[in-house]
Chains A and B, each alone.
Chain A
Amino acid sequence: MTYLSLTAVSKRFKDDVVLDKASLAIDRGETVVVFGPSGCGKTVLLRLIAGINEPDEGRIHIAGNEVTFLEPEQRNIGMAFQNFALYPHMTAFDNIASPLKARGMKGTEIARRVEEVGELLKIGHVLHHLPKALSNGQKQRTSLGRALAANPRLLLLDDPLRNVDAKLRYEMRIELPRVLKAFQTTVIYVTQDYKEAMALGDRVAVLMGGGFKQIDHPSEIYKDPDSLDVARLFGDPTVNVVDGRIADGAVELLGLRFPLPGHLDPGPCRVALRPESIEVTLDETAAGSMPVDVGDEGRHGLAVELDAVTPLNVRAVMLLKTADGKELLATCSEDEATRLPRGHKNVTAHIRAADLLFFDQAGARLRPRPN
C-alpha cells in the first residue's frame, strides 16, 4: 500500500528549476534511497516532504492525507539533517527529548524513551553532554536519535553519513538497517554515495535533471540501468562508454564484432561496459596489431596497452589504451594485479559479451528484443 506519494511535484528557485514534475510512491515500512549527483534536488525533495519549503506545483500525500501545505510541526515526521542541526544549547538528552516534549509526553516517560534510544544508538554514556562536547559520530547518532525518538510515521534522512569519517560510515552502513528495522518506520534516505544507496535501500530512486530517472531494486539498477546517465552513476570506477554500430545482428565496437543476443535496429549506438567485465591476460600480442577475436565463452580479446595499475584495497583498477587511443578502465582482484608488469605493457583485454549494455545516441537504453 502506498504510504507516501509525490505527484508531479515541481519546485523552482527563481529561474532555477530544481524539481520538474517528479513523482514517487513509497510503501509502508519501506526504505527508499533517493540517489543522485550533488545539486540534483535531493535535499529540496526532503524539504518539500518535511514542509520546510512548499512545492510550486504538485501534491504530497502521507497515509492518504494531503500534506502539501501543512506546517512542518503538523506532519509527524522525523528528519536527520546532513549537518546534524543539533540544538547547541541543549544536552544530547534534551535534543533527543525535544520531539517527545513537543508531543506532550510526561517527564518519566520521556526519560525512559530517551534512555532506550540512547542505548540502541550506543550514546547512552554521553547523553548529558552538550553537542560541542560530542564527537562527530556521536553528534550524528544524537541527530538520528532525535529523528527517531517519537516513532514518526515517516523518517527523512538527509545524507546523514556525509560528515562522518570512513570507519564510522562503514559501521553505520551495517548498523543503520538494524536500527531502522527496530522502529519499523517508512524511510527516505538521501545520499550521493552509490554504495550507501545499494547497501541501505529496499529500492533506489535515481533523481537527475529534476525528475526520477529510475526507481528499482539496487541490484536491478546496477545490472539493468534505464539510461546511460544512470549507468554512469553506479559503479566505481565508473562504467566505460564506447561508440558502436549495430549491423547484421551484431554490434561492432573497438574493432570487434559481438553477436547480439536479440534484435536491435541497425545504426550507431553507444555501449557501456563495466570495468569488471573486462579481463586482462598477458598474451603476447604486438601493439597495433589486428585485434584478435578469441570468441570462447563469449569473450572477445582485444590487443591493448596496459598503462597503469592502481591498487584499490581488495581490487585494482587498470587503465588500458586501445590501438586507436581509446582509454578503458578494467578491474581485477589485487592478487591478480601483482602478476601484472610495472610500466607500459601490451596485453589482451577480454570483454564479456553478455555484459554489454546498449544505449541510443541520446543515452536511452536499447534492449535487444528476442529474435
Chain B
Amino acid sequence: MQRQTSLGRVVRVGLLTMVGLFFLFPIFWVFLMSFQTNQEILRIPPSLFFEPTLHNYQVLFSGRLETQTGTLEVRFMQNLMNSVILATSSVALSLVLGIPAAYAFARFKFRLGEDIAFTLLSFRFAPPLLVLLPLAIYFQQLGLINTYTGLIWVYQLITLPLILWIVRGYFEDISEDIEHAYRIDGNGWFKTFWKIAIPLAKPGIAAATLLSFIFAWNNFVFALILASADKQPVTVGALAFVTASGIQYGQIAASIVLSVTPTLALALYAQRYLVEGLSLGAVKG
C-alpha cells in the first residue's frame, strides 16, 4: 500500500463530500419542504430559512385537508398501511416460493430446469403496461380486481424473479461438500437445506429480501390500474395531493418522508446480514 499524502487526503475528502452532497441534497430538500407551507415552498428565490410547521404531518395523520374549495379527505395513513401489507406479503410469499425453488435450480439438474428459471426471469423483461390491460380484464372476470390477493399475486412478477435469481447464486456458492458432510452425519435433505443451506445463504436472502421489498414498495403502475382508492399504496395515493386548488407540495414532501421511513429502517436492519464472508475459511479454496 502506498502511503497517502496529506494533499491526496484533502482531495479525497473534498470529492467525497461533493458526491455526497450531490446525491443527498434532493432528500435533504424534501425533508425541509415537509416542514414548510406551500407558500414558503413556492417562493422565489427559495430560502433555507423558514419557520418550521408540523401542519403537513397533521394533515396526513388526521386525514383531513382544508382548502379554499372545501375539506378534502386524505387517505394517506390507509395508503401507507396498504403499502406495508402489499410489500410485506408479496415479499413473504416470494421468499416461501422462491428460496426452495432457488435451491432446486442451484443443486439439482432436471429437465427444462434452466428454461424454467429463465422464463421466471423473463417476467421482468416485459414492460408492465403491455401486460396490464389484459391482466385487468382477466382480474375483472376472476373478481381479483381491487383485492389484496390479486395485487400480491401480480407483485410476484416483481419480487419472485429477483429473489429466485439472487438467492440461487448464493446457494451455488456454497460448497456442496458441506451439505454432503451434513447428510453423512445422519441428517435428511430437508434438515440439510434448513440447517446448512439457508443459514449460509443468509446474506443473499437478506439482500434479495431488501431489494425486492424496495421494488414492491416503489411500484406504481400495477396498483394504479388494478386497485381503487381503498387498496392503493402510497405511491398511487400521493396523486390525491394534486387537488383542484393546487398541488400540495408540503404534504407530498411529508408523505415522501413518511413512506421512505420503512424501507430505510429495513435497509439499516438488513445491513448486518448483508455482510459477506461468513463462509470464508470453512472450505480450503
Q: Which A residues are within 8 Å of any B CB, using their own CB?
A: 47, 50-52, 71-73, 75-79, 81-89, 98-99, 102-103, 130-134, 136, 139, 143, 146, 150, 163
- Contacts A76-B186, A98-B182, A131-B282 aside, 18 further interface pairs with beta carbons under 8 A come to A47-B180, A50-B180, A71-B189, A73-B187, A78-B184, A79-B180, A81-B180, A82-B284, A84-B282, A84-B284, A85-B178, A86-B282, A87-B182, A87-B196, A134-B281, A146-B185, A150-B186, A163-B284
**Chain B residues in 8 Å Cβ range of A47:** 180
**Chain B residues in 8 Å Cβ range of A84:** 282-284
B262-285 near A? 1/0 per residue, CB < 8 Å: 000000000000000011111111
A214 to chain B, nearest CB (A): 29
Asked if A132 meets B282 with Cβ closer than 8 Å, knowing A87-B196, A89-B199, the reply is yes
**Chain A residues in 8 Å Cβ range of B282:** 84-88, 131-132
- In the complex, the answer to whether B278 meets A89 with C-beta atoms within 8 Å is yes
A140 to chain B, nearest CB (A): 9
Q: How far is the CA of A276 from the CA of B268 in the complex (A)?
A: 69
- In the complex, the answer to whether B278 meets A85 with C-beta atoms within 8 Å is no
- In the complex, the answer to whether A85 meets B180 with C-beta atoms within 8 Å is yes
Asked if A83 meets B181 with Cβ closer than 8 Å, knowing A89-B278, A131-B282, the reply is no
- Tell which of A72, A86, A136, A139 touches B178, judged by Cβ atoms closer than 8 Å: A86
A330 to chain B, nearest CB (A): 37
Q: Does B91 contact A (CB under 8 A)?
A: no
- Tell which of A71, A85, A146 touches B175, judged by Cβ atoms closer than 8 Å: A85
B183 to chain A, nearest CB (A): 4
- In the complex, the answer to whether A88 meets B185 with C-beta atoms within 8 Å is no
| A-B contact number at CB 8 A | 93
Name the residue of chain B whose CB is nearest to the CB of A156. Answer: B184
Asked if A102 meets B283 with Cβ closer than 8 Å, knowing A87-B182, A89-B199, the reply is no
27 interchain pairs, CB-CB under 8 A: A72-B183, A72-B184, A73-B183, A73-B185, A73-B188, A79-B184, A82-B284, A83-B284, A84-B282, A84-B284, A85-B180, A85-B181, A86-B282, A87-B182, A87-B196, A87-B282, A88-B200, A89-B200, A89-B278, A99-B185, A99-B186, A102-B186, A131-B281, A131-B282, A136-B284, A139-B281, A163-B284
Q: Does B177 contact A (CB under 8 A)?
A: yes
Q: Which B residues are within 8 Å of any A CB, using their own CB?
A: 175, 177-178, 180-189, 196, 199-200, 278-285
- In the complex, the answer to whether B185 meets A102 with C-beta atoms within 8 Å is yes
Name the residue of chain A whose CB is nearest to the CB of B179. Answer: A85
Q: How far is the CA of A77 from the CA of B184 in the complex (A)?
A: 7
A106 to chain B, nearest CB (A): 16
**Chain A residues in 8 Å Cβ range of B281:** 88, 130-134, 139
Name the residue of chain A whose CB is nearest to the CB of B174. Answer: A88
Q: How far is the CA of A163 from the CA of B282 in the complex (A)?
A: 13
- In the complex, the answer to whether A72 meets B180 with C-beta atoms within 8 Å is yes
Q: How far is the CA of A103 from the CA of B186 in the complex (A)?
A: 7
Which of B181, B183, B278 has the largest number of chain A CB atoms within 10 A?
A: B181
- In the complex, the answer to whether B279 meets A88 with C-beta atoms within 8 Å is yes
A149 to chain B, nearest CB (A): 9
Q: How far is the CA of A163 from the CA of B177 in the complex (A)?
A: 15
Asked if A73 meets B184 with Cβ closer than 8 Å, knowing A85-B175, A85-B178, A87-B178, the reply is yes
- Tell which of A51, A79, A136, A150 touches B181, judged by Cβ atoms closer than 8 Å: A79
Q: How far is the CA of A85 from the CA of B175 in the complex (A)?
A: 7
B46 to chain A, nearest CB (A): 52
Asked if A88 meets B278 with Cβ closer than 8 Å, knowing A83-B175, A83-B283, A83-B284, the reply is yes
Which of B180, B281, B284 has the largest number of chain A CB atoms within 10 A?
A: B284
**Chain B residues in 8 Å Cβ range of A77:** 184
Which of A85, A130, A139 has the largest number of chain B CB atoms within 10 A?
A: A85
Name the residue of chain A whose CB is nearest to the CB of B196. Answer: A87
Q: How far is the CA of A98 from the CA of B184 in the complex (A)?
A: 10
Q: How far is the CA of A167 from the CA of B196 in the complex (A)?
A: 33
B110 to chain A, nearest CB (A): 16
Asked if A102 meets B181 with Cβ closer than 8 Å, knowing A83-B175, A86-B282, A87-B282, the reply is no
Q: How far is the CA of A131 from the CA of B281 in the complex (A)?
A: 6
Q: How far is the CA of A87 from the CA of B200 in the complex (A)?
A: 9
Name the residue of chain A whose CB is nearest to the CB of B199. Answer: A89
B272 to chain A, nearest CB (A): 14
**Chain B residues in 8 Å Cβ range of A103:** 186
Q: How far is the CA of A88 from the CA of B280 in the complex (A)?
A: 7
* The 6 A-B residue pairs with the shortest CB-CB distance in the complex, in nearest-first order: A132-B281, A88-B282, A102-B186, A85-B177, A99-B185, A72-B183
**Chain A residues in 8 Å Cβ range of B188:** 71, 73
**Chain B residues in 8 Å Cβ range of A134:** 281
